[in-house]
Amino acid sequence: MDVSEIQTIEHQVLVIGAGGAGLRAAIECSALGLNTGVISKSLLGKAHTVMAEGGMAAALASVSPKDSWKVHFRDTMRGGKFLNVWRMAELHAKHAPARVLELEEWGAVFDRTKDGLISQRNFGGHRHPRLAHTGDRTGLELIRTLQDHGVHQGIDFHMECAALSLLKDGERIAGVAAYWRDTGRFVLFRAPAVILATGGAGKAWKVTSNSWEYTGDGYAMAYDAGAELMDIEFTQFHPTGMVWPPSVRGTLVTEGVRGEGGILRNSEGKRFMFNYVPEKFASETADTEQEAAEWLAGKQGARRPPELLTRDVVARSIKAEVDAGRGSPNGGVFLDIASQRPADFIKRKLPSMYHQFKELAEVDITKEPMQVGPTLHYFMGGVRVEAESQMTRVPGLFACGEAGAGMHGANRLGGNSLSDLIVFGKLAGTGAKKYLDGLKSTPRADDEQVKAAFRVATAPLQRDSGENPYVVHEELTKTMGQCVGIVRSKKELERGIEELQVLKKRIKSVKADGASQYNPGWHEALSLESLLVTSEAVALAAHMREESRGAHTRIDFENERPEWLKYNIVITKGPDGQPRVEKVERKPPPDYLKQIAEANIDDLEAGKVGAGAPED
Amino acid sequence: MANRTFKIWRGDPKGGSFQSYDTDVSEGMVVLDVLHALQASQTPDLAVRWNCKAGKCGSCSMEINGKPKLACMTRMNSLPADQAVTVQPLKTFPIVRDLVTDVSWNYRQNKRIAPFKPVAPGPDGKRRMYQEDADRPQEFRKCIECFLCQDVCHVLRDREGQDRFVGPRFMIRVAGLEMNPLDAEDRIPELKEHYGSGMCNITRCCTEVCPEHINITDNGIIPLKERVVDRYYDPLLAVGRLLTGKKLRTVAKPER
């Protein structure tokens, strides 16, 4: 293979991924005058951001004047069980309102308040109505706004182009080896800065809200290139995925259903969430159905219904009900908004949920309850980055959105993902600009790396015989579901890690039938490596963290353990090619952040705490 | 569980044919589930585009029993049980492989539309829009870009038509801007001169196939056509122009 004959495209920055984070990063890079390219496995506007439903959290205070970045920051830290990177949670809470208003300036049409401002809705873990939204299709509004704005910014969009590996010159990033899905041809991107906006890896589980794209490509590429994976044991199971029919098991049911008043009941008709309120949230949660109803009606002083506790709590409670034999006929629980709100309200505020259940499950949610259960939804962990610049420890390599780690700690609040994308997407762009400004010489990858990347990619097509990649993937999802699920134990994790070692060997001999043009079997074979790297990292970190915190639940180590709050678990690729798992001590926060996060809510809202905090 | 026969078009730009596959179908399955089952068991290289599998991304557009549909939202029990199911790619766009077509023409049309131009904020620095004003653009912004409307548009089915008309998808994209009170751009000249608003002959085929149930024709295209007519062909305005001697100029916009 002669590298000079391979199609070569040069950019100053190459963004991998065209969801909210990738598009926002690219827009920033372009605005700063950088020659910017974006590659995406799918067509533009199809990334998983489009599935986000409920909204984006930002303390605009257009509905509740008491809201502020400080309260948003406090909610985020409490939701993340204080494991969040303090500075990232701070930047997020401070920048989110400006990023949302910027979207409006670029054409986003959010739902409105009576006063004509951006409306905001309630969501789990958020003290105030804080989610700017467009019905229950906010992700579509976000991605379309960024897409329609982005195409006029001089960015080169390379659609249906998949990254294979990162290329380096010494320590520094030098580009990306990739292939075009439609022709199967290889393409070499030379770029001194690369931004990973590759999302998560939900496809390692069978029951997931994620699409085929979520195979951990960014995690695996970054890990191979020498970056660190952090907090990867924290995988969020969204409490409400569809459970029936079997073919849609896992498809997301927005938290907006509960935000708009939906309640959870078990097979006995009991509103069970009242039995699962954690001590830390008890003083801010309603005690009775009557108080919850008063809160929904907007009565001052009434506390929030327990259905709006954080996702980790609700998901575990649903599992406990099902395990205790109080589940719905198809193995979930009942989510009921029909008895709480009139039909026209439901159709107006939750149109795509209405549509989704009607078409896929033949259930009319304005008349009957939905059956729902936990579904793997999101990775809180990811590639470790520096808070302000989003740069990894590999010079020139950046990560943002779900690909990055730190913002959400041990559990993400609903609505904090879309705002994460636009806040840290922009920061990754400014980070890349700063890095490139300081660069003395242009890094260049040698031919050997390029050839190696393409050789590995071609192998599954060239084998005479081998296993079916779909079958191996199916088995991986079984292992992860059984051994690295919503409730974990040392014994099961060890069994899982063993099974993953076997799978790691098996993926080396999968065979893709057919040619290289638009061949899903081949693409499936190529994604197995990333899925395995990610799955092993999750299992190893989950094994090391001997406590239950946020989305990581250990049946053999119940409850949070204060000593574990001091550490992040960080995974790197060792010199022997095997993962190295380490406890890395966290930096203490500045005093003002600690005070705000730990403040009594009334004191904080009255300005008695955090008054001197910098507003930058 | 029932055994069903599928006739799926397999091929590439050089040509292809329908091939038959038998597979078991269980309760609740949609056509996309069947295609995935075939990939996993019988034909791993069957090319299909898909993403969200919940009718929200508009990737899995194809023609099922001759009708343009999203494969992820077409339940098997909505198709006649006593016949084979035929599945083929969208007819209006060039074939890439099997069920995947080259829809890049649509992305080029999108780029021709002038970007949103925000009005100045109010005296308090905020932009206000009331929900009743947001409702109309929001209807059009529900569009998931599945391009089924483009596929059935009579004008676009003819290659020459694609040089003269942006198609229903982009008419409602313009409608979503034109009817947005926060957009300051004048879009009427572009509609007439560049997007071919006059080409649509209102057969409403696009509206019929829209999986988002957007009333493309009545709420989007017809009001836009009326605005063009009011601007350019209203006899009263024409008299006014004669009297004042002022010519109504249309500003041509180059392709962006």
Tokens of A608: 């008695």
Up-side HSE of residue B231: CA atoms within 13 Å toward CB? 17
Tens-place pLDDT, residues B59-104:
999 999 999 999 999 999 999 999 999 999 999 999 999 999 999 9
Q: What is the pLDDT of residue A612?
A: 87
Q: A560 and A530, same structural domain?
A: yes
Helices and strands of chain B, counted as H and E runs:
10, 7
Q: How many CB pairs under 8 A join A and B?
A: 177
Please tell me whether residue A552 adopts helix, strand or coil conformation: strand
As annotated, the residues of chain B forming the CATH 3.10.20.30 domain(s) are 2-101
Tokens of A121: 């809705």
ipTM of this predicted structure: 0.93
Contact at CB, B54 and A474, closer than 8 angstroms = no
Out of A46, A134, A522, the one facing B59 most closely (by C-beta) is: A46
Q: What is the pLDDT of residue A247?
A: 86
The percent of residues above 90 in pLDDT, for chain B, comes to 86
Q: A198 and A272, same structural domain?
A: no
Tens-place pLDDT, residues A214-261:
999 999 999 999 999 999 999 999 999 999 998 899 999 999 999 999
CA distance, residue B174 to nearest chain A CA (Å): 12
Going by C-alpha positions, the residue among B107, B109, B115 that lies closest to residue B176 is B115
Please state, in angstroms and rounded to a whole number, the distance separating the CA atoms of residues A548 and B104: 48
CATH code for the domain of A253: 3.90.700.10
Fold of B2-101: Ubiquitin-like (UB roll) (3.10.20)
CA distance, residue B110 to nearest chain A CA (Å): 8
Average pLDDT over residues B168-190: 97
Residue carrying structure tokens 């068991």: B41
Q: How many CB atoms lie within 10 A of CB B215?
A: 15
Q: A358 and A262, same structural domain?
A: yes
Most A CBs within 10 Å: which of B36, B51, B169, as the mutation test of the A interface? B51
Q: Looking at B13-140, which runs of residues are DSSP E strands?
A: 15-25, 61-64, 67-70, 85-88, 95-97, 100-101
Total residues belonging to chain A: 616
Q: Any long-range contacts for A601-609 (C-beta under 8 Å, 24+ apart)? A: A601/A71, A601/A74, A601/A127, A601/A284, A604/A70, A604/A71, A604/A74, A605/A66, A605/A71
Q: What is the pLDDT of residue A138?
A: 97
Band of pLDDT at residue B247, cut at 50, 70 and 90: very low
Band of pLDDT at residue B245, cut at 50, 70 and 90: low
Helix (H) / strand (E) element for A105: namely helix A86-105
Beta strand B61-64 with B67-70: parallel, antiparallel or unpaired? Answer: antiparallel
Contact at CB, B40 and A355, closer than 8 angstroms = no
> Residue B185: pLDDT above 50?
yes
> Residue B252: pLDDT above 90?
no
* Residue A105: inside a domain: no
Predicted TM-score of the model (pTM): 0.96
Helix (H) / strand (E) element for A179: namely strand A172-180
Q: Print burial letters for A397-432: b (CB count within 10 Å at least 16), e (below 16).
A: bbbbbbbbbbbbbbbbbbbbbbbbbbbbbbbbbbbb
Going by C-alpha positions, the residue among A24, A32, A254 that lies closest to residue A142 is A24
Q: Cis before residue A245, ω within 30 degrees of 0?
A: yes
Give residue B241's identity as a one-letter amino acid code.
R
Q: A381 and A324, same structural domain?
A: no
Q: Which residues contact B244 (CB under 8 A, 6 or more apart)?
A: none
> Residue B241: pLDDT above 80?
no
- What are the residue numbers of the active site of A? 238, 258
* Residue A166: inside a domain: yes
Closest-CA residue of B relative to A52 is B56
Most A CBs within 10 Å: which of B39, B49, B57, B140, as the mutation test of the A interface? B57
CA distance, residue B167 to nearest chain A CA (Å): 17
CA distance, residue B241 to nearest chain A CA (Å): 34
Flag whether residue A478 sits within 8 Å of chain B, measured between CB atoms: no
Closest-CA residue of A relative to B114 is A152
> Residue B253: pLDDT above 50?
no
Please state, in angstroms and rounded to a whole number, the distance separating the CA atoms of residues A335 and A238: 14
- Residues of chain A with C-beta less than 8 angstroms from the C-beta of B35: none
Tokens of A447: 């031919």
Please state, in angstroms and rounded to a whole number, the distance separating the CA atoms of residues B97 and A118: 44
* Residue A477: inside a domain: yes
Residue A301: alpha-carbon gap to chain centroid: 33
Going by C-alpha positions, the residue among A255, A29, A262, A313 that lies closest to residue A131 is A255
As annotated, the residues of chain B forming the CATH 1.10.1060.10 domain(s) are 104-244
Please tell me whether residue A562 adopts helix, strand or coil conformation: helix
Q: How many CB atoms lie within 10 A of CB A7?
A: 11
* Residue A420: inside a domain: yes
Contact at CB, A211 and B57, closer than 8 angstroms = yes
Sheet containing A120-121, strands listed edge to edge, beginning at the edge strand earlier in sequence: A56-57, A131-132, A120-121
Give residue A237's identity as a one-letter amino acid code.
F
Up-side HSE of residue A126: CA atoms within 13 Å toward CB? 33
Tens-place pLDDT, residues B10-58:
999 999 999 999 999 998 999 999 999 999 999 999 999 999 999 999 9
Helices A520-544, A447-462: crossing angle, 10 deg rounding: 110
Please state, in angstroms and rounded to a whole number, the distance separating the CA atoms of residues B124 and B147: 41
Please tell me whether residue A467 adopts helix, strand or coil conformation: strand
Residue A364: alpha-carbon gap to chain centroid: 30
- Residues of chain A with C-beta less than 8 angstroms from the C-beta of B52: 46, 48, 50-51, 211
Q: Name beta bridge partners: A186.
A: A179
User: In A409-468, which residue ranges form alpha helices assigned H by DSSP?
Assistant: 416-437, 447-462
Q: A382 and A318, same structural domain?
A: no
Q: A393 and A463, same structural domain?
A: no
Q: A549 and A493, same structural domain?
A: yes
> Residues 27..46 of A with a Cβ closer than 8 Å to B: which?
42-46
CA diameter of chain B: 76
Contact at CB, B129 and A116, closer than 8 angstroms = yes
CA diameter of chain A: 73
Can you spell out the DSSP letters for A185-238? -EEEEE-SEEEE-----GGGSSSBS--TT-S-HHHHHHHHTT--EESTT-EEEE
Flag whether residue A245 sits within 8 Å of chain B, measured between CB atoms: yes
Q: What is the pLDDT of residue B33?
A: 96
Last residue of a domain, one of A424, A447, A470: A447
- Residues of chain A with C-beta less than 8 angstroms from the C-beta of B58: 46
* Residue A587: inside a domain: no
Contact at CB, A252 and B54, closer than 8 angstroms = yes
CATH code for the domain of A418: 3.50.50.60
Tokens of A385: 């980055």
Q: A413 and A530, same structural domain?
A: no
Out of B51, B102, B173, the one facing A46 most closely (by C-beta) is: B51
Cβ atoms of A46 and B57 closer than 8 Å: yes
- Residues of chain A with C-beta less than 8 angstroms from the C-beta of B45: 512-515, 519-522
Out of B102, B110, B116, the one facing A107 most closely (by C-beta) is: B116
Average pLDDT over residues B126-150: 97
Cβ atoms of A184 and A495 closer than 8 Å: no
Flag whether residue A140 sits within 8 Å of chain B, measured between CB atoms: yes
Please state, in angstroms and rounded to a whole number, the distance separating the CA atoms of residues B50 and B95: 16
Closest-CA residue of B relative to A461 is B45
Q: A226 and A142, same structural domain?
A: yes
- Residues of chain B with C-beta less than 8 angstroms from the C-beta of A515: 45
Cβ atoms of B52 and A51 closer than 8 Å: yes
Name the residue range of residue A311's domain. Answer: 242-376
Tens-place pLDDT, residues B196-209:
999 999 999 999 99
Fold of B104-244: Fumarate Reductase Iron-sulfur Protein; Chain B, domain 2 (1.10.1060)
Residue carrying structure tokens 């990939």: B39
Going by C-alpha positions, the residue among B122, B126, B119, B132 that lies closest to residue A101 is B126
* Residue A212: inside a domain: yes
Q: A562 and A483, same structural domain?
A: yes
> Residue B234: pLDDT above 80?
no
Going by C-alpha positions, the residue among A233, A238, A264, A218 that lies closest to residue A51 is A238
* Residue A40: inside a domain: yes
Last residue of a domain, one of A552, A567, A582: A567
Gap between the terminal Cα atoms of chain A: 52
Closest-CA residue of B relative to A155 is B111
Flag whether residue A51 sits within 8 Å of chain B, measured between CB atoms: yes
Q: How many CB atoms lie within 10 A of CB B122?
A: 10
The percent of residues above 70 in pLDDT, for chain B, comes to 93
Q: How many CB atoms lie within 10 A of CB A96?
A: 26
Up-side HSE of residue A387: CA atoms within 13 Å toward CB? 14
* Residue A288: inside a domain: yes
Going by C-alpha positions, the residue among A318, A311, A387, A412 that lies closest to residue A91 is A387
Can you spell out the DSSP letters for A128-177? S--EE-STT-HHHHHHHHHHHHHTTTT-EEETTEEEEEEEEETTEEEEEE
Helices A138-150, A86-105: crossing angle, 10 deg rounding: 70
Band of pLDDT at residue B250, cut at 50, 70 and 90: very low
Cβ atoms of A17 and A199 closer than 8 Å: yes
How many domains are contained in chain A? 3
Please state, in angstroms and rounded to a whole number, the distance separating the CA atoms of residues B71 and B146: 11
Contact at CB, B47 and A107, closer than 8 angstroms = no
CATH code for the domain of A537: 1.20.58.100
> Residue B251: pLDDT above 50?
no
Q: A274 and A314, same structural domain?
A: yes
Contact at CB, A148 and B102, closer than 8 angstroms = no
Residue carrying structure tokens 């379309």: A144
Beta strand A131-132 with A120-121: parallel, antiparallel or unpaired? Answer: antiparallel
Residue A162: alpha-carbon gap to chain centroid: 20
Cβ atoms of A166 and A194 closer than 8 Å: yes
Average pLDDT over residues B238-250: 57
Q: What is the pLDDT of residue A300?
A: 86
Tokens of A371: 């059956």
Spans of chain A, pLDDT less than 70: none
Q: A272 and A315, same structural domain?
A: yes
Flag whether residue A329 sits within 8 Å of chain B, measured between CB atoms: no
Residue B64 burial (10 A CB sphere; 0-12, 13-18, 19+) = middle
